[in-house]
């Protein structure tokens, strides 16, 4: 497998103006006919190499002349033709086998429906093409299929004709007026229930909205529809961006490698991010559906209207679009809770990636398998980089930067640099140094020191940045880091924005009588780690006095982390009762309930691994449990009171009710660490009228390994065995069960009639949930957990390399753990690396991890 480098980018020598596609859909022999009009960009260009993989070539025509095999060169991954004329037409006929396409890239079948996934490089599994984002063509697509099995035939753009054909076939032709790269192409054919609605844009255009779901699921699509309309309104209100076609379609499918795909006018979604009702979806599911619907919708501008020049620029569309969906969620819900959840993802997963063997800048420079770079770094850290720009220039100028970006680049395929330059020009600010965030990997560490001169009353804050070498990059430079702070003193709270631009800088503040307390990194203004020792008293002050809710929450998290550090060092460490006093104040604060629930959510195992690595995971887990039980004991009366207060409420779907469920289930999770309260979970399960409460009770039963777990799970299985998305939750709960028989359970589960590695949601729900939510057994000292994961990865290598490659993350980050475990994890990696048909996806990661 060969690597590709950013530095080697060259524009194509050809443009493809139009492509007319015809799909004759068939389970095993789908015929794709492609007719392209191609223009030479320079007269010297005479060889056109088209990408193509796993295709059966049937015929090639050049300017309507059939070519003989000696006229072209055919390889495993390309087809090369001689181009004589400046303007040529090329017709290519290929045959593909959708049913046997378990990689779910290109054209495949999900249940009874045909559907496609082309990003990043899946179009080349449909036909030979210049499968790169900077080649933009106008697509016309004719889809032909059996009328009874596939009443709906969909593609991008507007429907221009349809009709019936002999032999119970019918066809529909679609025309997309916007030139687009091949990765945004989509075809869907199937039988669905259809939910329709409409939306009038700010300029008065009527847009038809259609959501296609599996038969019987229409009632579960209303939340997705409402989310779509909210997204459309928000983008008009916030950025003045209107939808540009007359129809917007979303199709929900059960077999999908990721969350969703922003194909022009025809989004394809994992049904997990469309279907919801109170009985089957949790409050978190509702939130995520809205966020993913928004994300894909926002791509219509940031991604589709202006796209990426090459795949190294992926963060151009993804970082920006994640930032936009985060801002949208913050506007629709509690901004603080939304922000806290973003930060948890960064701290628990992105920081680990950035320090691990696959570390890469948000704009990678070297790629072997592009699908390996749809990462937390490109997406989430990419969004943080955009957020820093937003912080530096402010919302008004940011909006002007966005305006200028579209004015300059609408309809083009551009680079990250183009985006920053538009921002810099619109806001008249120098972003030269800031651009380093795009090329430098790793998480900066800020070390903070403070000094208060009692005589002069001058307060000094000294901040140093350290950028440790990473696997991909030994030499690092100083970054431009916006640091929002609050100075809390008897004269109130003052917010400031500091800009660190070199390795170390200091700031002086003069207007205090006594030493102020600094709340550092308000709103998490930069994706950095912070090393700053503050006393429990200072942290307690920040928890109550900071204006920024993120700072209040983060001070609490620091208290937890400090306590866990002490428990790791000495398991007999006596946690001071002062902690309970501080937390008791917080429990009674008048913040919204969802925020209080966040404040009581301890940093998760993965976040703490990042803090304490290399660490013995069991020692760490014991410390977390000790702290949790200590808090539960100290505040049990309060938790019980909260629990009772909200226990018997009828389900409602609005912010206050969501907050009540959040705090109630937080109280439950503490109480369940004390054996005298174990009955509560069972009662809650029996009485619950919604999935949030059912799942919370089952979760606490699983993670505390309580006896009633199996009975509860049996009833859950009986009720939901026909609802795939709920059965995913069932598998995940089983995988998270903390009992010594977990390995026998896993074996049984992997033979369960409803288990299949071919369905990514199902595979993740068992394997991903085990490795992520059951660290005690995943890391068990015998190495059985690692072996289980490796066994599954070996099977997935043949079935679905993308899913295999996602799941290997928890093994390649072996350096985070103690030496014994490192060895056991490496053994499994070595075992996987000896597979005879190792996929490119896994190979790239294994090479990085084992070198
Ligand atoms: N752009 C797609 C992700 C495609 C992943 C390809 N392996 C979804 C999204 O980010 O919106
Ligand atoms: Zn995206």
Reduced 3-state DSSP string for 765-780: HHHHHHHHHCHHHHCC
Render pLDDT for 673-695 as a digit per residue (tens, 0 to 9). 999 999 999 999 999 999 999 99
* pLDDT(511) > 90: no
Query: What is 1-191's CATH superfamily?
Result: tricorn interacting facor f3 domain (2.60.40.1730)
Centre of ligand 2 from the C-alpha of residue 460, in Å: 42
Q: How far is CA 3 from CA 77, 340, 364, in A?
A: 15, 37, 12
Q: Tell me which of 296, 318, 598, 844 is the catalytic residue.
A: 296
Tokens 């104040």 -> residue:
585
| 248: confidence class by pLDDT, cuts 50, 70, 90 | very high
Q: Under CATH, which architecture does the 445-532 domain have?
A: Sandwich (2.60)
Query: What is 721-851's CATH superfamily?
Result: Peptidase M1, alanyl aminopeptidase, C-terminal domain (1.25.50.10)
Share above pLDDT 70 across residues of the chain, in percent, rounded to a whole number: 100
CA dist 230 and 78 (Å) reads 43
Q: Which two tokens stand for residue 552?
A: 């209040």
Partners of 196 in the beta sheet? Answer: 210
Render pLDDT for 270-317 as a digit per residue (tens, 0 to 9). 999 999 999 999 999 999 999 999 999 999 999 999 999 999 999 999
- Enumerate the CATH 2.60.40.1840 domain ranges in the chain, comma separated: 445-532
CA dist 797 and 803 (Å) reads 8
Mean pLDDT of the chain: 98
Render pLDDT for 708-734 as a digit per residue (tens, 0 to 9). 999 999 999 999 999 999 999 999 999
Residue bearing the CA closest to ligand 1, atom 8: 261
In this structure, are residues 481 and 509 in contact, taking their beta carbons and an 8 Å threshold? no
- Enumerate the CATH 2.60.40.1730 domain ranges in the chain, comma separated: 1-191
CA dist 216 and 61 (Å) reads 45
Instruction: Determine how β-strand 169-175 pairs with β-strand 138-146.
Output: antiparallel
Q: Which two tokens stand for residue 361?
A: 């800048």
Render pLDDT for 415-440 as a digit per residue (tens, 0 to 9). 999 999 999 999 999 999 999 999 99
- Measured at the CA of 27, the angle between CA 26 and CA 33, to 5 degrees, comes to 40
Q: Which atom of ligand 1 is nearest to the CA of 296?
A: 11
- Enumerate the CATH 1.10.390.10 domain ranges in the chain, comma separated: 307-439
Centre of ligand 2 from the C-alpha of residue 300, in Å: 10
Which ligand number lies closest to the CA of residue 183?
1
CATH class, domain 307-439, is mainly alpha
In this structure, are residues 175 and 142 in contact, taking their beta carbons and an 8 Å threshold? no
Q: Which two tokens stand for residue 66?
A: 């059939």
Pocket-testing residue among 116, 131, 260, 373, ligand 1, by greatest number of atoms within 8 A of Cβ: 260
Instruction: Determine how β-strand 206-213 pairs with β-strand 247-253.
Output: parallel
Chain-centroid distance, C-alpha 76 = 32
Q: Which atom of ligand 1 is nearest to the CA of 292?
A: 11
| 491: confidence class by pLDDT, cuts 50, 70, 90 | confident
Tokens 């700031």 -> residue:
507
Tokens 């004991």 -> residue:
633
Residue bearing the CA closest to ligand 1, atom 2: 261
In this structure, are residues 23 and 142 in contact, taking their beta carbons and an 8 Å threshold? yes
- Catalytic (active site) residue 279: no
Q: Is 459 helix (H, G, I), strand (E, B) or coil?
A: strand
Average pLDDT over residues 498-524: 97
Element (H, E) at 237: helix 222-239
Alpha helices by DSSP H, listed for 463-616, are: 536-545, 549-569, 578-587, 593-599, 605-612
């Amino acid at each position: 497998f060969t690597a590709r480098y950013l530095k080697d980018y060259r524009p194509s020598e050809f443009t493809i103006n139009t492509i007319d596609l015809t799909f004759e859909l068939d389970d095993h022999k789908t015929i794709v006919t492609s007719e392209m009009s191609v223009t030479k960009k320079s007269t010297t260009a005479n060889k056109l190499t088209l990408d193509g993989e796993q295709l059966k070539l049937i015929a090639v025509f050049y300017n309507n002349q059939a070519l003989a095999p000696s006229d072209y060169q055919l390889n495993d991954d390309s087809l090369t033709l001689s181009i004589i004329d400046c303007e040529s037409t090329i017709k290519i006929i290929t045959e593909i086998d959708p049913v046997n396409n378990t990689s779910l890239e290109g054209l495949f079948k999900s249940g009874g429906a045909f559907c496609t996934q082309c990003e990043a490089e899946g179009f080349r599994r449909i036909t030979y093409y210049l499968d790169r984002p900077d080649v933009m063509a106008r697509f016309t697509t004719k889809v032909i299929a059996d009328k009874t099995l596939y009443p709906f035939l969909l593609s991008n753009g507007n429907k221009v004709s349809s009709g019936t054909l002999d032999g119970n076939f019918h066809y529909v032709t679609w025309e997309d007026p916007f030139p687009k790269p091949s990765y945004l192409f989509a075809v869907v054919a199937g039988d669905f229930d259809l939910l329709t609605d409409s939306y009038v844009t700010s300029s008065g255009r009527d847009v038809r909205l259609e959501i296609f779901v599996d038969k019987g699921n229409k009632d579960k699509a209303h939340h997705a529809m409402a989310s779509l309309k909210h997204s459309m309104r928000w983008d008009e209100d916030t950025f003045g961006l209107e939808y540009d076609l007359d129809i917007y379609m979303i199709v929900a499918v059960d077999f999908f490698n990721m969350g969703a795909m922003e194909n022009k006018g025809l989004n394809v979604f994992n049904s997990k991010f469309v279907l919801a009702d109170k009985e089957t979806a949790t409050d978190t599911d509702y939130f995520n559906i809205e966020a993913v619907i928004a994300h894909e919708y926002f791509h219509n501008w940031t991604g589709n209207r202006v796209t990426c020049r090459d795949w190294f620029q992926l963060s151009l569309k993804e970082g920006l679009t994640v930032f936009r969906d985060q801002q949208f969620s913050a506007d629709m819900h509690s901004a603080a809770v939304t922000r806290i959840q973003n930060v948890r993802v960064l701290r628990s997963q992105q920081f680990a990636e950035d320090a691990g063997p696959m570390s890469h800048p948000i704009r990678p420079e070297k790629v072997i398998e592009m699908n390996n770079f749809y990462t937390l770094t490109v997406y989430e850290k990419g969004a943080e980089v955009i957020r820093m720009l937003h912080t530096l220039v402010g919302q008004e100028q940011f909006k002007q930067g966005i305006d200028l970006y579209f004015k300059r680049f609408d309809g083009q395929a551009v680079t990250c640099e183009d985006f920053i330059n538009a921002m810099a020009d619109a806001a008249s600010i120098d972003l030269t140094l800031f651009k380093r965030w795009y090329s430098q990997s790793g998480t900066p560490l800020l070390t903070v020191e403070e000094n208060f001169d009692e005589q002069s009353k001058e307060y000094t804050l000294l901040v140093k940045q350290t950028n440790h070498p990473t696997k991909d990059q030994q030499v690092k430079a100083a970054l431009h880091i916006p640091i929002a702070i609050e100075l809390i003193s008897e004269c109130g709270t003052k917010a400031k924005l500091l800009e660190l631009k070199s390795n170390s800088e200091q700031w002086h503040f003069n207007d205090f009588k006594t030493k102020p307390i600094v709340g550092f990194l308000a709103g998490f203004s930069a994706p950095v780690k912070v090393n700053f020792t503050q006393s429990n008293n200072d942290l307690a002050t920040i928890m109550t006095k900071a204006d920024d809710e993120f700072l209040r929450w983060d001070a609490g998290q620091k208290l937890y982390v400090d306590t866990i550090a002490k428990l790791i060092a000495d398991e007999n460490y006596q946690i001071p009762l002062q902690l309970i006093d501080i937390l008791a104040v917080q429990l009674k604060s008048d913040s919204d309930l969802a925020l209080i629930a966040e404040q009581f959510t301890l940093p998760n195992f993965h976040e703490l691994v990042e803090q304490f690595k290399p660490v013995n995971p069991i020692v760490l887990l014991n410390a977390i449990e000790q702290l949790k039980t200590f808090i539960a004991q100290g505040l049990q009366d309060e938790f019980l009171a909260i629990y009772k207060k909200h226990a018997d409420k009828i389900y409602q779907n609005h912010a206050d009710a969501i907050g009540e469920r959040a705090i109630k289930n937080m109280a439950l999770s503490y109480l369940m660490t004390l054996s005298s309260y174990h009955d509560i979970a069972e009662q809650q399960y029996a009485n619950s009228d919604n999935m949030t409460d059912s799942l919370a009770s089952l979760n606490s039963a699983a993670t505390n390994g309580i006896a009633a777990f199996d009975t509860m799970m049996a009833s859950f299985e009986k009720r939901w065995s026909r609802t795939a998305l709920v059965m995913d939750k069932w598998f995940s709960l089983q995988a998270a069960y903390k009992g010594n028989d977990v390995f026998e359970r896993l074996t049984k589960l992997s033979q369960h009639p409803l288990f299949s590695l071919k369905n990514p949601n199902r595979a993740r729900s068992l394997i991903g949930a085990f490795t992520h939510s059951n660290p005690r057994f995943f890391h068990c000292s015998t190495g059985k957990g690692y072996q289980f994961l490796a066994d599954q990865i070996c099977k997935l290598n043949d079935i679905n390399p993308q899913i295999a490659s996602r799941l290997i993350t928890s093994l390649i980050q072996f350096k985070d753990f103690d030496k014994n475990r490192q060895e056991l994890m490496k053994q499994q990696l070595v075992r996987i690396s000896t597979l005879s048909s190792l996929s490119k996806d896994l190979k790239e990661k294994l090479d990085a991890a084992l070198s």
